Structure 1
Amino acid sequence: MSYRALFLIPAFFLVLFAGREHYPIDGYEETGIERLLRLQRIMGGEIEGEKPPPGAQRSISDITLNLLGSRGDTLQAIPSPDLELQKSVNAIFPSLDESYSVALLDITKGRPIRYAHRKQTSGYQPGSVGKLAVLAAIFSELERIYPNSFDKRQELLRSREVQGGRWVVPNEHEVPIYNPETGFYARRAVREDDRFSLYEWTDHMISVSSNAAASVMWRECILMRAFGKQYPAVTEVEAEDFFKKTPKKELAEMASSVVNAPLRDIGIKEDEWRLGRLFTHGAAAIVPPSGGSIGTTLGLMKYLIAMERGKIVDQESSLEMKRVMYLTDRRIRYAASPALTNAAVYFKSGSLYKCVPEEGFKCGKYMGNVYNYMNSVAIVEQPDGRTYLVVLLSNVLRKNSSADHYTLASRIDKLVK
């Protein structure tokens, strides 16, 4: 990456923000993600709106990878549990549901690296945490197109706009819509006629966990693989024609390869994490499911470590992925813990539930009685220097376990301290 042009801000913004704390929305000039410009204007007092919590007000240029070089090299394999940390982790869970699985890695500078876990190989449906695999796929396929220029990869993300089409239905996650010229702002579900840049689709996929956006970006990864260096010039008619004429079995195999191969490249085994189905019914009708989906805390921890080591595709891609994870629209579940208010949190949450009629039980959102997966992945960087990676997966039936997740976040933060 050429850092000389990184996060340039117009002069009037520099004056406006003089003396203020920096924050991640200074990435608008780099990415063209319009919701970031709105946050930039909110933070500068130009317009009214809700400000992000203190821990979410870092400059993107202050975001770095924590495990570069020799320190990260010691983590080519997951370490054995630290006895003291493992004892502390074990003490948290006896009163909670048996389904909880956790992996915790303390990488605080000035300390030995410490690891602890619980049921790290137990398989769960990853839900929206699986969108992190799509994130890795995006940067992996971009590297195939422009192997020698990260600047060109970013320019493609910023400049190429694509329409959602039938891939986005059905979906319920609302995405932010902002017009910098008129000031119009709204939150609504993605429509078939919506057009966003690849960067904005990626942001919608991670920051608000849009299933529609995830299917669109998975689609674009398939097209990148299929068309290679010709992809930047592919029209929507050509793309539609490709999906109509390519045999379903071939599409399924290609879809599986683009999202799962990057995981295998960083040492995550198939039974530790894989994706098998696109995130919307509309997309799955075009590209059939293949192989099913599964996630483990072990597999997801390997992902976080590889990203912090700069090993997902390359160092520049890993850093950009970490920045995308920082730009979460709002903090929920694990990340909503008051203990993390002042911490930088790089976060993804996911859930999936299903209900059947049951006497004496009324189904509600995130309260499935067949399955009720709720998952959290986070990198936490506290102002006092504490830095740790955590993965929490659960399948607590008949209960919305969001409160348990942010309570656990507080307890884990305290024991790392």
Structure 2
Amino acid sequence: MSRITMFMCVLLSGAWQAMAYPIDGATETGITRLEGYRQAQLGRVAGNSLPAGAKLSSDQIRLRMQEHDRAPLPATDQMLTRQLIYLLGDEADDYSISLLDLSNPDHPVYAAHNENIPRNPASVGKLVIMLSLFQSLAEIYPDNIPAREQVLRESMIVADAFIHKDHHAVPFWIPEQMRLRKRKLVEGDEANLWSYVDWMVSASSNAAASMVLKHVMLLRHFGSAYPVGRAAENRYFEQTSRKQLSNALMVTLREPVLRNRLNPERFRQGGFFSRVGKQRVPGGSSLMTTRELMRFCLLMEQGQLVDAWSSLQMKKLMYLTRHRIRYASSAALKGAAVYFKSGSYYKCEAEAGFTCKKYSGNKLNLMNSVAIIEAPAGVSQLHYIVTVTSNVLRKNSALAQQRLATRLHQLMQGLHAKHVLPQ
């Protein structure tokens, strides 16, 4: 690299893992790593202990706005917005944030700051792939949820060249050794579709995301004939022109957004998360706003994201059931159920006296978080959604959002002090 060339550090999502889906779901889904985490809570597997808020069972996770008014986002509450901006302090201009207080579900309160500023979503864009999968299943099997479950549970995915390159480790349950092993995906790794979606959302694996997106394209192309054999998969991607594949990719990522009344100019994932995927199937740009991310979450809580069954499955996939990171790592949220997705993207350039560090870029330092908070878990006097993107240069954005989560949770506790039990 020449001395003139900028030095860049780029991270599309965290190396730390944040597992999702309730741990009693292994039999239902075939996500085998869940059994490992369940055994860990029984003391039979070393480590992997869960915080108090991460121990809900599947039947405790519900769509909390499904039985209430299904109205769109309410008008912005000016008083709460001023309090929100005050929390951001001198760096408020570098943040976009939306907050929806659903603690009184009949009277939701919305606050926002810079809500319509688009930013690269990084790994938060994986929510679009998840949405596309469930929308595609609903279109192929509109009145047959068992058929959708069968596709997710019994369709086997074998990792291929589309996984390259990725640094994220994913968990593998090894029952004969009673241990969870964490490593990168390699070609030949086989698991069901549910497991790959879990790895995509929870461990934020770019390799898993690329395999899921590849198979959503196959699902949309073959319809009810999916899953097809490896030979048919290969023929489709080898014999279809790059232009046709690119068009199919755009339809795969755009149509589900439109079908769910979201704005693709404010909620857009442009393509694959892997270098090989991008080479073989050209895509476009990605961007999101905190307002449209909030609309995604609200539709999910209302059971309107695809349909009620799909909304519930997506919420379960976002439920954190292991080490919490970034915004979700705040100690104030230890007793809360947290439904979460985050993504980061930073760049550094030469600057006298500056050392490039993770999440601390001096040219670009994006940190994006989507969090649904129910506190305390299982009781939930507090229920709120926060979507936030930030670009605060030269500061550790993971720690900054952790502190923001603490201050924001304290604000919510103060607003509902008469109704909130100690956590």
1:156, distance to aligned residue in structure 2 (A): 1.4
Superposed structure 1 runs of 4+ greater than 6 Å apart = none
Q: Equivalent residue for 1:360? A: 353
CA distance in structure 2 between the partners assigned to 1:70 and 1:208 by the alignment: 33
Deviations 1:277-311 (A, max 9, x none): 21000111111022x11111011001001101111
1:131, distance to aligned residue in structure 2 (A): 0.6
Work out whether 1:202 is the aligned partner of 2:200: no
1:97, distance to aligned residue in structure 2 (A): 5.3
Q: Equivalent residue for 1:255? A: 249
Q: Equivalent residue for 1:299? A: 292
How is 1:125-144 mapped onto 2 (pairs within 5 angstroms)?
125-144=120-139
Work out whether 1:238 is the aligned partner of 2:224: no
3-state DSSP class of the match of 2:45?
coil
1:49, distance to aligned residue in structure 2 (A): 2.2
Alignment CA distance shift 1:111-1:242 (3 Å): closer
Deviations 1:322-379 (A, max 9, x none): 0010044421000000110000000001011222323322212222223221100000
Work out whether 1:269 is the aligned partner of 2:263: yes
TM-score for the superposition, normalised by structure 2: 0.89
Q: Equivalent residue for 1:84? A: 79
CA distance in structure 1 between the partners assigned to 2:83 and 2:409 by the alignment: 11
Q: Equivalent residue for 1:408? A: 404
TM-score for the superposition, normalised by structure 1: 0.90
Q: Equivalent residue for 2:211? A: 216
| Equivalent residue in structure 1 for 2:183, among 176, 188, 193 | 188
Which amino acid in the other structure matches residue 153 of structure 1? R
3-state DSSP class of the match of 1:285?
helix
CA distance in structure 1 between the partners assigned to 2:306 and 2:105 by the alignment: 28
Q: Equivalent residue for 1:74? A: 71
38-47 vs 159-168, which moves further: 38-47
Q: Which runs of 5+ in 2 are unaligned?
A: 1-20, 414-423
How is 1:56-135 mapped onto 2 (pairs within 5 angstroms)?
56-71=54-69, 73-75=70-72, 78-96=73-91, 98-109=93-104, 112-135=107-130
Q: Would you say the 8 A contact 2:271–2:282 is kept in 1? A: yes
Q: Equivalent residue for 1:279? A: 273
Alignment CA distance shift 1:111-1:414 (3 Å): farther
200-209 vs 397-406, which moves further: 397-406
Q: Would you say the 8 A contact 2:367–2:397 is kept in 1? A: yes
Q: How many residues align?
A: 390
CA distance in structure 1 between the partners assigned to 2:311 and 2:274 by the alignment: 27
CA distance in structure 2 between the partners assigned to 1:385 and 1:394 by the alignment: 28
Deviations 1:133-190 (A, max 9, x none): 1111111111223222112211211111111101101000000111223434311111
3-state DSSP class of the match of 1:350?
strand
Q: Which runs of 5+ in 1 are unaligned?
A: 1-22
Q: Percent identity?
A: 38
How is 1:350-389 mapped onto 2 (pairs within 5 angstroms)?
350-383=343-376, 384-389=380-385
Q: Equivalent residue for 2:9? A: none
1:217, distance to aligned residue in structure 2 (A): 0.4
Q: Would you say the 8 A contact 1:262–1:312 is kept in 2? A: no
3-state DSSP class of the match of 1:310?
coil
1:47, distance to aligned residue in structure 2 (A): 2.8
Q: Would you say the 8 A contact 1:101–1:393 is kept in 2? A: yes
Q: Would you say the 8 A contact 1:334–1:402 is kept in 2? A: yes
Q: Equivalent residue for 2:7? A: none
RMSD: 1.6
Alignment CA distance shift 1:25-1:303 (3 Å): same
